[in-house]
Amino acid sequence: MTRRALITGITGQDGSYLAEHLLEQGYEVWGLVRGQANPHVSRLRKHIGDVRITTGDLLDQGSLISAVERVEPDEVYNLGAISYVPMSWQQAELTAEVTGMGVLRMLEAIRVVSGVSASRTPGREQIRFYQASSSEMFGMVRETPQNERTPFHPRSPYGVAKSYGHYITQNYRESYGMFAVSGILFNHESPRRGAEFVTRKVSLGAARIKLGLAGELRLGNLEARRDWGYAGDYARAMRLMLAQDAPEDYVIGTGQTRSVRELVAFAFRSAGLDWEDHVVLDARYTRPAEVDLLCADPKRAREQLGWEPEVSFEGLVTMMVESDLRMLAGSARPEDEPSGPDHW
């Protein structure tokens, strides 16, 4: 029978790639959006026409229960969050409510609709739940590379909220026997990434300068190192986690790190430019508490899920720069580009 999936945050980068992947696998895909007039839905429908929409809000428990009752999903993917790390300092309370407590509300919605309690465990065909955890939970890292057993030390309200979501997912798995897992995903990017994220800021900046639309690009810390991969690859890993016989958490990443400086240099080189002629350091873009190094150890995902990234760092950056050059040359936004980090 056709499996049915409900995705929160479907209008964001990850949600759109996951929806595409699940449709290719024969799923019936539903997206949870806030309000009937959500401006991102029409853009999503133009790009992924077979997605069905239901309303709900990660701030509203009742709306989530109603959505789960209506859709009757086999799988729920909770990707909705305030996902832009710098914004989490400006809106710390809202980040905690959406990115942290929103996970609890969705788990409760699944538990209530399924009739699960401490004395009644889920049946064999229970709803399976995926939580989008983040490498930002590691923060001030205790060891490198980071794996499923590495302790958390988050360095932002976003990382703290994601840590809560991760642990409450684990708690519901252990307390109620629910099939609930977390994917600890390292940085994953694409041409659909919002323009405020550093990778997209760099690819757009290089494209604008190449086309004569700008003369400089202002950035903060160029020495921070990240494990960057392609978002479409990571969507495959999400589905694989829910396809296992037993619920377990997995680290997903490439196992290779690059500095922001290397990202900038390669992006500008892809556009035929020398970055040192155009990039200006600006202290306004430095985080209050920086995360200096994140690097995944994806051994467990490789061995147990059979997952491997297919797009290289160089291929990813080239893809993003070329996409932005086409988009800017055509003087139009790409239909599949999320307009910001607000995708809950």
User: Residue 280: CB partners within 8 Å, gap ≥ 6?
Assistant: 216, 217, 218, 219
DSSP state of 96: I
8 Å CB contact between 230 and 190: yes
Output the pTM of the full model: 0.92
| Claim to verify: residue 183 and residue 274 sit in the same structural domain | no
| Claim to verify: residue 263 and residue 169 sit in the same structural domain | no
Q: How many CA atoms lie within 13 A of 31 on its CB side?
A: 32
DSSP string, 221-263: -S--EE--EEHHHHHHHHHHHHTSSS---EEES-S--EEHHHH
User: For residue 259, which phi and psi values (nearest 5 degrees)?
Assistant: -80, 160
| Claim to verify: residue 283 and residue 157 sit in the same structural domain | no
| Claim to verify: residue 135 and residue 222 sit in the same structural domain | no
Q: Which amino acid is at 165?
A: G
| Claim to verify: residue 242 and residue 320 sit in the same structural domain | no
Q: Please report whether residue 126 resides in a domain.
A: yes
| Claim to verify: residue 185 and residue 319 sit in the same structural domain | no
| Claim to verify: residue 147 and residue 54 sit in the same structural domain | yes
| Claim to verify: residue 285 and residue 153 sit in the same structural domain | no
d(CA 14, CA 63): 22
| Helix, coil or strand: residue 135 | helix
Q: How many CA atoms lie within 13 A of 235 on its CB side?
A: 22
* Residue 64 tokens, joined: 């989530």
b/e sequence 211-221, b meaning 16+ C-beta within 10 Å: eeeeeebebbb
User: Residue 39: CB partners within 8 Å, gap ≥ 6?
Assistant: 339
Q: Please report whether residue 298 resides in a domain.
A: yes
Q: Which domain holds residue 39?
A: 4-189+229-252
First to last CA, the chain: 29
| Helix, coil or strand: residue 30 | strand
Q: Please report whether residue 43 resides in a domain.
A: yes
Q: Where are the beta strands (DSSP E) in 119-198?
A: 128-134, 180-185, 188-189
| Claim to verify: residue 63 and residue 49 sit in the same structural domain | yes
Angle of helix 313-329 relative to helix 260-270, nearest 10 degrees, comes to 50
Q: What is the pLDDT of residue 339?
A: 47
Residue of 43, 275, 317 whose CA lies nearest to 191: 317
We report the CATH number of the domain holding residue 326 as 3.90.25.10
Residue of 71, 97, 68 whose CA lies nearest to 4: 71
Q: Please report whether residue 339 resides in a domain.
A: no
Number of domains, the chain = 2
| Helix, coil or strand: residue 292 | coil
- Stated length of the chain: 344
Radius of gyration from C-alpha coordinates of the chain: 20
Would you call the peptide bond into 145 cis, given omega within 30 degrees of 0 as the criterion?
Answer: yes
| Claim to verify: residue 161 and residue 233 sit in the same structural domain | yes
Q: Please report whether residue 337 resides in a domain.
A: no
Q: Please report whether residue 35 resides in a domain.
A: yes
Residue of 58, 90, 19 whose CA lies nearest to 343: 58
Q: Where are the beta strands (DSSP E) in the chain?
A: 4-8, 28-33, 52-55, 75-78, 128-134, 180-185, 188-189, 217-219, 225-226, 229-230, 250-252, 258-259, 279-281
Q: What is the pLDDT of residue 334?
A: 47
| Claim to verify: residue 147 and residue 8 sit in the same structural domain | yes
Would you call the peptide bond into 309 cis, given omega within 30 degrees of 0 as the criterion?
Answer: no
Q: Per residue of the chain (344 residues), what is the pLDDT tens digit?
A: 899 999 999 999 999 999 999 999 999 999 999 976 676 777 777 778 789 999 999 999 999 999 999 999 999 999 999 988 888 888 999 999 999 999 999 999 999 999 998 766 776 689 999 999 999 999 999 999 999 999 999 999 999 999 999 999 999 999 999 999 999 999 999 999 999 899 999 999 999 999 999 999 999 889 989 999 999 999 999 999 999 999 999 999 999 999 999 999 999 999 999 999 999 998 877 767 677 789 999 999 999 999 999 999 999 999 999 999 999 998 555 444 544 555 67
Beta pairing, strands 225-226 & 258-259: antiparallel
Q: What is the pLDDT of residue 88?
A: 87
Query: Which residues are identified as catalytic?
Result: 163
Q: Which amino acid is at 323?
A: S
- Give the 3-state secondary structure of 179-211: CEEEEEECCEECCCCCCCCHHHHHHHHHHHHHC
Q: Please report whether residue 301 resides in a domain.
A: yes
